[in-house]
Amino acid sequence: MAVMKPDGECVPGESVTSDQSNGVASDGAAPTVSRGVALSVGEHIRLELLSWPGVTDAPHRFGGVAFHLGRRELGHLHGDYLADFAFPTRVRDQLVREGRAQPHHVMPHRACVSYYIDDAQDLPGVLALFRLAYERAVTARNQHDRRAAAQMERIGEAELDR
């Protein structure tokens, strides 16, 4: 499989092969759940994300696969070579400033970032961005649940006062 890099160069795609004995990828990357089976970088990311509580995947409207927590998209993959994320502007700016991501490949002026994946060595960086998106989504969900519970409690108290 060929991968198109941002500069237009076409290179062979990378795959991660897990070691038969211990499940550790032959290139030293994180362990995989499938022993002796070659996993593409995208498949490795997908399996990792789907192991997180509540994460689901679905086709993305612009191609690739999107990962969600509830209705909130955490980010999406375009094959084995690119991941895109939406973050608040201040988070986006910090990620770009720190070199952890690049401005979005199509809409560089929006509060989105892209992460180019060259090979399995990029797994920690892309998974860190998915983890950041996941933690933000869990925090938002918990805040929503607390507000909803407080509102239900107020409604219940009002019902009792009648």
| Kind of pairing between the strands at 55-59 and 65-69 | antiparallel
Tokens of 94: 């910090």
pLDDT of residue 73: 93
* Phi, psi dihedrals of residue 138, rounded to the nearest 5°: -65, -45
Q: Residue 49: is it exposed, middle or buried by C-beta count within 10 angstroms (0-12/13-18/19+)?
A: buried
| pLDDT of 27 | 43
The answer to whether the CB of 39 falls within 8 A of the CB of 28 is: no
Residue 152 scores a pLDDT above 50 = yes
Asked whether the CA dihedral 122, 137, 64, 19 is positive or negative, the reply is positive
**In the predicted model, what is the mean pLDDT of the chain?**
76
d(CA 81, CA 2): 10
What pLDDT score does 75 carry? 94
Contact 125, 100 (CB under 8 A): yes
28: CATH:
3.90.1150
pLDDT recorded at residue 111: 79
Q: For residue range 8-18, list pLDDT tens digits in order.
A: 333 333 333 33
Q: Would you place residue 34 in the very low, low, confident or very high pLDDT band (cuts 50, 70, 90)?
A: low
Task: Give the structural domain span for 81.
Answer: 2-161
Burial 62-86 (b: 16+ CB within 10 A, else e): eebbbbbbeeebbbbbbbbbbbbbb
Between the ranges 34-48, 55-69, 137-151, where is the mean pLDDT highest? Answer: 55-69
CA angle 86, 89, 90 (to 5 degrees): 120
How many domains would you assign to the chain? Answer: 1
Q: How confident is the model at residue 160 (pLDDT cuts 50, 70, 90)?
A: low
* pTM (2 d.p.): 0.68
More confident residue, 162 or 50: 50
- 């991968």: which residue's tokens? 3
